[in-house]
Amino acid sequence: MNAALDNILSHYRRFAASADYAGLPDSQQTAAAALHRLPLPTRRDESWRYTPLPAVLEHPFQPIALEDDLLTPDDVEQLRLTPADSPRVVMLNGFFIPELSTIPDDGSVEILPLNAALRDLSSDAFTRIGQLSGTRQHLFTALNTASLGEGVYVRVSAGTVLAKPLEVLHVSISFESEFIAQPRLLVVLEAGAQATLVEQYAHLSDTLCLNNGVVEVFLEAGAQLSHPRLQHESLRTRHLSSLYLRQAAESHYQGTTLAFGGAWSRTEFHVDFSGTGAHCDLNGFYLAGDKQSHGMHVDVIHNLPNCTSRERFKGILYGNSTAVFDGNILVQADAQKTDARLSNDNLLLSRDAEINTKPRLEIYADDVQCSHGTTVGQLDPEMLFYLRARGIPHEQAVTMICMGFAGAIIATCEFETLEQCANALLVKRLSKLVGLSHQNID
C-alpha cells in the first residue's frame, strides 16, 4: 500500500472498526467495510489507465476538521455567481456553513445538513444516500461515503419551479496543508420539479489539498434540472469529483462542467435511466496548462427504450500539460430507440501537450441511432493567417480562435454570470501564452 494513501485510510479504517453501525445508512456501512478490500486504482484499471496517480498519492493528506472564522460574508459576496437574494449553500472544505448560506423560508426548496437529514431513518435522504454511488464505487468514492455526515441534502418538492438559481459554493481555505476534504451533495427533484443548480469550486488561498467530492442527483418523472459547474481551484489543489445521475421517465438533465483549476483534476459522470423518454445533455470543457492534468470520464448506461443523450466535450492544452477523455455509452438489449451521440474535440497549443482520448460505444440493441468521434489538432494555420493579415497581433489571434473553440461549450451553461466568469478565466490564462513560439502553434 502506498504510504501516503495508507495514512489517509488509517483514519477511516479506525472509524470503520469502532463505529456503531446502528442507525447508519447501509451504503455507509458497506463503504466503510469496502475500505479494507477495494484496491488502490492503478494504470492496470481500464478507467484509470491514463490518469497520472502520483500527483495524488505522493502527499500524506490528512482528514480536515472544521475551522472557525476562516470565511466571511465578504468572501462569499466576492465569489458568488448568483444574485444576492438567491438561495445559496456555502461549503468550507466540505463542511456546510449555515450562517453564510441563504436558505429560503417559503418552502420552495428543502436544504438540510446531511447529518441532520440522515437522523430520520425513514427519511428520503436516508433511503437514497449512496444508492447510486455505491453501485460503481472505487476506493475514493468509498472513502467519501464512509465519512458521510458533513454534506448537504437538497430536495425540490413535486411540481415546484424554482424562480431563482440555487448556488452551491465550495471553498477551499485552511491554515493546514495537505488535507483531504470530502464534500457530499444529495439532490432530489421530485416529479415535475424544475430548478437551476449552480456549483462552483473556488479557493481563497494557494492551499495544497485533495477535494474528494461526490454528487448524487435523482430526477423523478418529468423533472428538469440545469446544472452548470465551474471548477477554478488553486493550481496546487487535487480535485476529484464524481457525479451520479438517475433519471426517471420524461426527465431532462442539462449539465455543463468547466475545469480550469487544480494541478490534477478528474471528473466522473455516471448516468442511468429509470424511466423511458428521458433526455441527458452532458457538456464539458477543460483548459490544461503547464504541469496541469485534467481528466473527464463519462459512463452513460442506456438500459431502457426511447431515451436520448448527448455528450460533448472539448479541451485546450498548452505547455507540458496532459488530459484524459474516457467516454463510454452502453446501450443494453432492451434499450431500443436509443439516440446517443458522443464527441470529444481537442486543441493542442504546444508540442509538449498530451491528450489521451477514448470515446467508445457498446451497443446490444438493433434499433438505435448512436455515434461517437474525437478530434485532436493544432490551430488552423489558414484561420490564423486570415486574422493576422487583418492586422490582429499573433497572441490576440490565438486567443480569438481559442475563445471561439471553447465558446460553444461554455454557452451551454445557459447562466450568464458563470459564462462571463469562465470567459474571463480563459482570457486570463491564454494571455500567459504570449511567450509561445510561432513554431509551436503555427
- β-sheet with 88-92: strand ranges across: 95-96, 88-92, 166-172, 194-203, 224-231, 252-259, 279-288, 308-317, 339-348, 369-377
Confidence of residue 409 (pLDDT cuts 50, 70, 90): very high
* Whether the predicted pLDDT of 204 surpasses 70: yes
pLDDT of residue 442: 42
The DSSP 8-state label assigned to residue 161 in this structure reads: B
Residue 125 near residue 117, CB atoms below 8 Å: yes
| Number of neighbours of residue 325 by Cβ within 10 angstroms | 27
pLDDT of residue 207: 84
* Whether the predicted pLDDT of 420 surpasses 90: yes
Q: What's the average model confidence in pLDDT over 399-417?
A: 95
* Whether the predicted pLDDT of 438 surpasses 80: no
Look up residue 426 and give its amino acid.
Answer: L
Lowest mean pLDDT among 10-19, 85-94, 284-293, 370-379: 10-19
Q: Where are the beta strands (DSSP E) in 28-85?
A: 62-63
Cα torsion 254, 227, 118, 8 to 10°: value is 110
pLDDT of residue 188: 98
CA distance 20 to 24: 8
pLDDT of residue 2: 62
Confidence of residue 315 (pLDDT cuts 50, 70, 90): very high
* Whether the predicted pLDDT of 301 surpasses 50: yes
* Whether the predicted pLDDT of 416 surpasses 90: yes
CA distance 225 to 256: 11
* Whether the predicted pLDDT of 41 surpasses 50: yes
What is the grid cell recorded at 415?
447562466
Q: Please list, in sequence order, all residues whose beta carbon lies within 8 angstroms of the beta carbon of residue 366, skipping any fewer than 6 positions away.
A: 336
CA distance 319 to 85: 41
pLDDT of residue 237: 94
Residue 54 near residue 1, CB atoms below 8 Å: no
CA distance 4 to 13: 15
Residue 269 near residue 241, CB atoms below 8 Å: no
pLDDT of residue 121: 84
Q: What's the average model confidence in pLDDT over 205-210?
A: 88
* Whether the predicted pLDDT of 11 surpasses 50: yes
Q: Please list, in sequence order, all residues whose beta carbon lies within 8 angstroms of the beta carbon of residue 435, skipping any fewer than 6 positions away.
A: none
Confidence of residue 22 (pLDDT cuts 50, 70, 90): low
Q: Are strands 95-96 and 88-92 parallel, antiparallel or unpaired?
A: antiparallel
Q: What's the average model confidence in pLDDT over 305-323?
A: 97
Q: What's the average model confidence in pLDDT over 312-319?
A: 96
Nearest to 149 by CA among 96, 191, 111: 96
State percent of the chain over pLDDT 70: 92
Q: What's the average model confidence in pLDDT over 391-418?
A: 93
Q: What's the average model confidence in pLDDT over 422-435?
A: 84
pLDDT of residue 36: 77
What is the grid cell recorded at 134?
455505491
pLDDT digits (tens, 9 = 90+) for 139-184: 889 888 887 767 999 999 999 999 999 999 999 998 888 889 999 9
pLDDT of residue 206: 87
